[in-house]
Structure formats: C-alpha cells, structure tokens
Amino acid sequence: MECAGRKGISPEPDTDPVIQIASVVQRQGETEPFIRTVFTLQSCASINGSQVLCFSQEAQLLQSWAEFVRTVDPDIITGYNVQNFDLPYLLNRAAVLKVDLFPYLGRVRGIRSVLRDSSFQSKQMGRRENKRINAEGRVHFDLFQVLLRNYKLRSYTLSAVSFHFLQEHKDTMQPFVITDLQSGNEQTRRRVAMLCLKDAWLPLRLLQKLMCVINYMEMARVTGVPLSYLLSRGQQVKVVSQLLRQAAKKGFVMPVVKMEGGEDYSGGTVIEPEKGYYNVPITILDFSSLYPSIMMAHNLCYTTLLKKGSAEKLGLSAEQFIKTPTGDYFVKSSVRKGLLPEILESLLSARTRAKAELKKETDPFKKQVLDGRQLALKMSANSVYGFTGAQVGKLPCLEISQSVTGFGRQMIEKTKQLVESKYTISNGYQADSKVIYGDTDSVMVKLGVSTVREAMEMGRGAAAWVSTYFTPPIKLEFEKVYYPYLLINKKRYAGLHYSSRPDTYDKMECKGIETVRRDNCPLVANLINSCLQKILINSDCGHPALSVPQGPPGAVEHAKEVISDLLCNRIDISQLVITKELTRNAQEYAGKQAHVELAERMRKRDAGSAPQLGDRVPYVIIQAAKGPPLI
DNA sequence: GGAACGTCCTAT
DNA sequence: TAAGATAGGACGTTCC
Ligand SMILES: Nc1ccn([C@H]2C[C@H](O)[C@@H](COP(=O)(O)OP(=O)(O)OP(=O)(O)O)O2)c(=O)n1
C-alpha cells in the first residue's frame, strides 16, 4: 500500500489518503503469480502483465480492494510488515471514510475484521508490540515476522533483506516523492504503481525462496498447532499441544499448576579453556541432542516422577526406578513410559528426516534453508526440556530440568576423564591426550596427532567407545576437526573446520567472536574476519615472493592499514553503522546507552517514524566521549 | 581508578 | 493454555 504522506511526518490515516494498493496472488508450489493487480487513486497508465484498476474516489478504491480479497479468497496473506502497518492503515482509513463494507476480510460472512493490539514477551525474544487483525479462515503470514523469528540479521528493512537473500537492490522512493508523483499525471502515477507492484511481489518471492510455508506447515503438523500460532506465539504452546496429544492417547489430563518464580537452577558445564593457538588438529566430540537423549534414556517425565517415599508406597523394587544426580526418582520405562520421551522421539525423527533431505540437497542456498528447518526442529526438541524448567510456564517441573542438566554435567566430566585416561602414552598412543575445552555437550581434544586424518579416525573410535558407557539413545559423535584452532576464551574461538574430507577444510568457523555478532559495525567484523583468515588459513605459508605478508604479521599489518584508512577518512560510513536492539521503553533503562538516547530523540522529533520496541536502531559514533568530532 | 552492575548478544 | 532453559564474554555506565 502506498499513501500520500506529508513531508517529514509519518502518514496518518485520519488525513493522508491511500493512493495505491498492489496485490500479487500465487498458488503455493507454482513459480509465477497468476494475478497482479494494482488499485490506483486517479488515472494510471497501463502496465504490461498487470491489471490496473483506477478509481476517482478513495472510498471506492478501498471497498473494491476488500471485495477483491473476498473474491480471490486467499488462504494466506503476506507482505512486508503489512500486519503492523498496511492492513491497520487500510482499516483505519476505511473507517475514516466510512467504507462500511471494508472490514470484512475473512471467510466467515458477517464477522467484522477489527484491529487489536497484541504483545509478545519472552526471555529469549524480548518484548514486541504487534497489531492483529482477524480474518477468519485466512492466515496472516507476514514475511517480516517470519524473518524476525528465523533469521538473525543486522537490519530487517525490506531493502536490506532483499539484498541479503536475493542480492538485489530494491528501488525505494522517499514518501514525499510518492506524494509528488501522485499529484502529477497518469505516467508519474504509473511509476508509483510499478514500484508498488514490485514491493508486493518481493515478499512473495522471498517467502517462496526461503520455503517458509512448507517449513512452517511441517512444524505445525509435527507440533499440532495452527499455522498462525507459529508467528504469534512461543515455544510453550507447541510443547503443551504435543503434551496434550500424547496425554489424550493415554487418557491423562493435564493439571493446572501455579508456581512462584523461584531461583534459577544450574545448567551445563563450560570446561575452563586452555586458551591459545593450536597448530595441531583438535578433535571435537559432541553428544547428539544431549538433553532430549537424556530425557529419553532415563525416561524423565511428569508421569514417571516419583515423589519422596512413593517408591516404597508403590512397592517398587530397586531395579524399577532410578535416582538422578539431583536426588530425584523416576520409574523406568518398563513400569511406565513417559510422555515427554515419546514426544521427543517424534520430534527427533522429524529432525532426522529433515537432516536426510539436507544431505541430499546440492544447491547451497536450499541447503541453508533446509538447515534452518532442521535447526527449528532441534529447537523444538530442546524446548521440551526448557518447558519443564520454565518457572513462568504452564507446567514447570524442576525435578526434570535439574535432573537433565545434572546428568549432562556428569556426562561431560565422564567423557573428559574417559578420553584422557585412554589416549595416553602408557596405553601406546603417540601422546597424552588433553581436553582443552568443552561446552555442555562437547569436548575439544588435543589427541597429539599431527594429521587431520588421524584426528578423525581416532575421534570416531573415541566417540564410539565413550558411547558404550552411556544408555542409548545417548550417543557421543565425532563431529569435526579444527586445524588450526584459536581458542580465545569460553564461548569464543575460531578454527578451520574439517569434517567431510581430511585433506581440505570445509570452512572457517567462528564462534562468539565479533565476526558473528551484530552489535558492532561491519568494519570491525570484516577486519577481524580477514585477520582470522590470515592467522588460520595462511599460518605457515609466509611465502617470501608474496608481497602481502600472511600469518600474524600479515594480520597486524592489515589491521594497521584499515586503522589508517579509517583515520584518513577513506572508509565508507556504511561500514561504521552499529545496530542494537531497543529492548524496552526509554524510561525502563537503568543506564545511558547510545541507541536508546538516539531512539528517544527520534521519538521526540516524529513518534511515527522512531524505532519501536524490538526494532534495531542503527547509528554511527561521530564523537568520542571527550575530544573533537571524529567526522 | 577500579569494582559492580546493566545490557546486548551469543553458545550450548 | 502469555511468556523454552542456563552460561558467559565484552563493553559501557554508575558507584564508591
Ligand atoms: N537452543 C538450545 C541449544 C542447546 N540447548 C541444550 C540442550 C542440548 O541438548 C544441549 C547441546 O546443544 P547443542 O547445540 O550441541 O545441540 P544438540 O546436542 O541438541 O544437537 P546436535 O545434534 O546438533 O548436536 O544444550 C538448549 O537447551 N537450547
């Protein structure tokens, strides 16, 4: 939708007219849209391949578009931020113009579409305020919301997103230019219409390219929630839905439990890293789906938990139940199989299917998409564990979650000991092995071998051997080899990743370092990335014929060059843009922060265009705390 | 000037 | 069914 706003002020439905609405309609699975229509206020020259419908009255335009929606009768409505901007604007504008037949956009006749505020809040996703318009029988599937939930990007503007996924630069028009073109002639309005159609089609293309509908349908089926919940609700509703599905099969009902927000409980162990640069292969072993597999192996569930003393009361023998590291008791599956393990089996089998498809795929972009799908299913499985520990949730059970993390802590410790005790000189190996780092479910081992091939072979052997010490389906896997490996700190490292072949690395992998963080500027991320490349990739080939030094000296030189470019003003300002999320309202912050101050100043200038809760605020630092301006 | 704290964002 | 979990580094501000 385009409207004719006034310069410097964000558009208001009370005063600023809707001048165009473009709609592009496509059947899921087909590659081309079968309807391209633009509704324009005033005449508009024709556009090849599109239907142009001109109206002299804005009210007619709106009414006609609503009828169009009812006639086309779509299952899914998408767009870019249409949920929070376009549709509310249209609804409000229609009310101002008294277009009484407009707000019936659903499939059920006579149910009026109304605008509501809704807000979503969770620890991991922060707080977001959204609008919601009901359209019974249709699903609002706003691409913006999909991207916010599934992709961590520096910027979520349609133009940034379009460049990121399609490598296309989106044409944009300043709002006041649109207003000027509207008051021109049928040719200038055609320019607006062309853009409007393009902007309507773009989200559809992205939705298709990212396979959003397919992946979300799978998630909806696996977890048993409506498609719309996946964009408007959190993880809890998915777990509850699966719990109810399993419970119903067994004739159980779910109790209502209220719980005061209590103390946090302890989670996974992060092994103290032996920081440093390793120019030898480092083997990484990692439990596959650790927490879910713990819950399955030990049959941890609400329905298998024994309260203190009930083992005796029920006359259970010692082989019929287990004691967890936290001192809680659960019956074995021979007595009663838990619901959670069954849910996890089904989620993990969906993940296994997704991983199999991922393996078959050769197109790199589709591979990424399928990896996202696989990770979403892993997330759902881990959320089953998270759900039991969610103290502001519907059915918290810390006995389960604490037992899970307790087992996890024991397991990583045991794995470290096993590996270090077997791979020793006294057992006939080349060197005494050492676990140099590990996080929750993984150990990074220096086995003392010099080739990637050996590191892989020994890794596979070690993983299989350690696995025998644990109850299935718990399984330690050889995951990859890093060579070389730069271990900077807990949760911060980089290395060249070998897993498919021992002779060539697959990629450089960076964890936790600036290069993968969105809260610093691209200049820093790129600089550190190229320094790491010099350090890791060209570590020992400081070829004298090369004019550019590699390895650490090359990295230092490169950093100096970039700093001097920066001081000499040879860096484009776009490289200096930092973005940070606005996670709460200005007055709720305890300390001063640049992006918060900026957002507040913008709000005072024009509240409509200022960053909202949950938006990322882009800014450039132009002056040091003390001293002269930098630019 | 340094410890404590708040915030952001990531790893698992 | 409103809202998965904890661990932890880096950096800026506030407090003393
Ligand atoms: N979003 C996440 C990621 C992880 N974990 C916990 C549960 C996992 O079992 C454990 C290890 O996480 P990994 O990232 O290593 O992933 P998994 O072991 O679950 O899966 P994979 O098979 O990919 O290793 O950490 C979690 O609770 N929530």
Looking at residue A312, its pLDDT comes to 76
Report the relative pairing of strands A76-77 and A115-122 from DSSP bridges.
unpaired
pLDDT digits (tens, 9 = 90+) for A451-470: 999 999 999 999 999 999 99
A496 has a pLDDT exceeding 50? yes
Residue A539 predicted with pLDDT over 80 = no
Query: Is the Cβ atom of A584 within 7 Å of strand B at any atom?
Result: yes
d(CA A411, CA A406): 9
Q: Which residues of A325-361 are buried (b: 16+ CB within 10 A; e: fewer)?
A: ebebbbbeeebebbbbbbbbebbbebbeebbeebeee
A510 contact to strand B (CB, 7 A limit): yes
User: Any atom of strand B under 7 A from CB of A154?
Assistant: no
pLDDT cut 70: percent of chain A above it: 97
Q: What is the pLDDT of residue A123?
A: 87
Write the ipTM: 0.95
Which residue's alpha carbon is nearest to atom 1 within ligand 1? Answer: A379
Q: Sign of the CA dihedral A82, A87, A93, A99?
A: positive
Residue A631 pLDDT exceeds 70: no
* Pairing mode of beta strands A76-77, A139-140: parallel
pLDDT score for A542: 44
Smallest Cα–C1' distance to nucleotide C6: which residue has it? A267
Ligand 1 pocket mutation pick from A441, A479, A491 by most atoms within 8 angstroms of CB: A441
Query: If you average pLDDT over residues A13-37, what whole number do you get?
Result: 94
Q: How confident is the model at residue A58 (pLDDT cuts 50, 70, 90)?
A: very high
Query: Mutual orientation of helices A522-536 and A551-567 as an angle, nearest 10°?
Result: 160
A440 touches strand B (CB under 7 A): yes
Region A32-50: what's the mean pLDDT? 95
Around ligand 1, the residues with Cβ closer than 6 Å are: A 286-291, 378-379, 382, 385-386, 440-441
* Whole-number distance in Å between A624 CA and C13 C1': 15
Host H or E run for residue A19: strand A18-25
3-state secondary structure A294-351: HHHHCCCCCCCEECCCHHHHCCCCHHHEEECCCCCEEECCCCCCCHHHHHHHHHHHHH
B4 C1' to A523 CA distance, Å: 31
pLDDT higher than threshold 50 for residue A171: yes
Question: Does the structure show a pLDDT above 60 at A23?
Answer: yes
Number of separate helices (H) and strands (E) present in chain A: 18, 21
End-to-end CA distance of chain A: 38
Q: Which long-range contacts (CB under 8 A, 24 or more apart) does A500-507 make?
A: A502/A451, A502/A452, A502/A453, A502/A456, A503/A452, A503/A453
Q: How far is CA A368 from CA A57, A172, A506, A581, in A?
A: 47, 28, 15, 25
Task: List bases in chain C with any atom under 7 Å of a protein Cβ.
Answer: 1-10, 12-14
Instruction: Give the distance (Å) from ligand 1 centre to CA of residue A414.
Output: 18
Among protein residues, the one with the nearest Cα to ligand 1's atom 20 is A289
Which residue's CA is the closest to the ligand 1 atom numbered 26?
Answer: A382
A591 C-beta less than 7 Å away from strand B: yes
What interhelical angle do A364-388 and A236-250 show, nearest 10? Answer: 70
Give the nearest ligand 1 atom to A294 CA.
9
The two structure tokens encoding residue A122? 């969770």
pLDDT-based confidence at residue A314 (cuts at 50, 70, 90) = confident
- For A223-235, what is each residue's pLDDT tens digit? 899 999 999 999 9
* Residue A297 one-letter amino acid: A
User: Which candidate, A214, A268, A272, A219, places its Cα nearest to that of A242?
Assistant: A219
Give whole-number Cα distances, A32 to A28, A158, A382, in Å: 10, 21, 38
CA of A510 to C1' of B9 (A): 15
* A308 band by pLDDT with thresholds 50, 70 and 90: confident
What distance in angstroms lies between residue A291's CA and the mean position of ligand 1's atoms?
7
Nucleotide nearest to A513 (CA to C1'): B10
How many of the other CB atoms lie within 10 Å of CB of A185? Answer: 12
Distance, in Å, from the CA atom of A467 to the CA atom of A487, rounded to the nearest integer, reads: 26
DSSP assignment of A241-310, as one string? HHHHHHHHHHT--PPP-------------EEPP--EEE-S-EEEEEETTHHHHHHHHTT-STTTEEPTTH
pLDDT band, residue A99 (cuts 50/70/90): very high
pLDDT in tens, A107-144: 998 999 999 999 999 888 889 999 999 999 999 999 99
Which nucleotides of chain B are near protein (any atom < 7 Å from a CB)?
5-12
Q: Within its chain, how far is the Cα of A543 from the centroid?
A: 42
pLDDT digits (tens, 9 = 90+) for A508-521: 999 999 999 999 99
Is the pTM of the predicted complex or chain greater than 0.90?
yes
Residues 6+ apart with CB under 8 A from A121: A127, A128
Angle at CA A493, nearest 5°, toward A492 and A495? Answer: 165
Do residues A79 and A58 touch, judged by C-beta distance below 8 A?
no
Q: How confident is the model at residue A626 (pLDDT cuts 50, 70, 90)?
A: low
pLDDT at A627 over 90: no
- Using the mean position of ligand 1's atoms as its centre, give its distance from the Cα of residue A375 in Å: 10
Cα gap A551→A553, rounded to integer Å: 6
Please state the atom number of ligand 1 nearest to the C-alpha of residue A291: 9
pLDDT bracket for residue A91 (50, 70, 90): very high
How does residue A607 score in pLDDT terms, banded at 50, 70 and 90?
A: confident
Ligand 1 atom index nearest CA of A292: 9
The structural domains of chain A, ordered by start, are: 2-210 (3.30.420.10), 221-256+338-396 (3.90.1600.10), 265-302+304-324+398-502 (3.90.1600.10), 522-573 (no CATH), 577-619 (no CATH)
